[in-house]
């Protein structure tokens, strides 16, 4: 069977990565979390204290930056200039700044190029905001996954607890809503459902049910 490309997009904390990981594992495909790449460059921008509002400064920073994703048992390891930043990129500090960095055209051009290279000629499940619309426009399966903002904040709260991040629920909800607004309103490749994407509301679905829905859709396309 020829491997296919599966694009999963949607707003923040909709469960995309958890579900994408399960789908990739079941199909024996590579899982690629593109948000991690935007988070990695944001971590470097914060560390180097560049002007986060500047497209040019962000572009220059990327030229001297190496971002590498490697599959791991838990899904994916993220390396920034050869250093493992898998945990560091999940901090609230990075989360609050990432949408500003991700809006820059020079950042997106480079990321999309890297993501297309990673997906080339193999079975992949890639999650992000612009995968179905820009990164893999001819993916065999596109899913746009969402859930109510309350439910998404609740899920992120639970996930954070396991990482010892104790941001209050209300703050998480406000941060998620703000990120969605910035990601949907930016000029370059905003968060959108691709016309040919299937909408999946996971508000009342368990993780296994949502993964099962996507696997069913994938099998129809194999």
Judge whether 155 and 204 are in contact, CB under 8 Å: no
**Residue whose CB is less far from ligand C5P, 130 or 213:** 130
Phi/psi for 10 (5° steps) reads 155, 175
Would strands 124-128 and 5-9 be described as parallel, antiparallel, or unpaired?
parallel
Task: Determine if residue 14 is labeled as part of a ligand binding site.
Answer: yes
- Is 104 among the residues that bind ligand C5P (CB under 6 A)? no
- Is 130 among the residues that bind ligand C5P (CB under 6 A)? yes
Judge whether 127 and 34 are in contact, CB under 8 Å: yes
For ligand C5P, which stretch binds (CB under 6 A), given 20-28, 31-39, 149-157, 203-211? 31-39
Tokens of 134: 């820009």
CB 10, min distance to ligand C5P, A: 9
CB 99, min distance to ligand C5P, A: 4
- Is 213 among the residues that bind ligand C5P (CB under 6 A)? no
Give the integer Cα–Cα distance in Å for 69 and 90: 15
The CA distances from residue 55 to 46, 87, 95, in Å, are 14, 26, 19
Q: Which of 21, 39, 104, 142 binds ligand C5P (CB under 6 A)?
A: 39
Q: What are the residues facing 125 on neighbouring strands?
A: 6, 31
- Is 35 among the residues that bind ligand C5P (CB under 6 A)? yes
Which residues of the shown chain bind ligand C5P in the complex (CB under 6 A)?
A: 12, 34-35, 38-39, 98-99, 102, 128-131, 179, 183
Binding positions for ATP: 10-18
């Amino acid at each position: 069977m020829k491997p296919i490309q599966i694009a999963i997009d949607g707003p923040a904390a909709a469960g995309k990565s958890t579900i994408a990981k399960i789908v990739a594992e079941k199909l024996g495909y590579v899982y690629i979390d593109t948000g991690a790449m935007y988070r990695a460059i944001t971590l470097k921008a914060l560390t180097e204290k560049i002007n986060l509002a500047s497209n040019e400064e962000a572009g220059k920073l990327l030229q001297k930056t190496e971002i590498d994703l490697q599959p791991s048992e838990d899904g994916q390891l993220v390396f920034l200039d050869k250093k493992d930043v898998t945990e560091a990129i999940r901090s609230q500090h990075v989360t609050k700044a990432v949408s500003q960095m991700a809006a820059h055209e020079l950042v997106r051009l480079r990321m999309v190029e890297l993501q297309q290279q990673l997906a080339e000629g193999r079975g992949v499940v890639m999650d992000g905001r612009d995968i179905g619309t820009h990164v893999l426009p001819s993916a065999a399966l596109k899913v746009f996954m969402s859930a109510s903002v309350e439910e998404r904040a609740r899920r992120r709260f639970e996930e954070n607890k396991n990482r010892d991040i104790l941001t209050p629920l209300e703050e998480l909800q406000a941060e998620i809503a703000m990120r969605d607004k910035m990601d949907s309103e930016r000029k370059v490749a905003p968060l959108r459902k691709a016309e040919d994407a299937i909408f999946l509301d996971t508000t009342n679905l368990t993780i296994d049910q949502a993964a099962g829905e996507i696997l069913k859709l994938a099998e129809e396309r194999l």
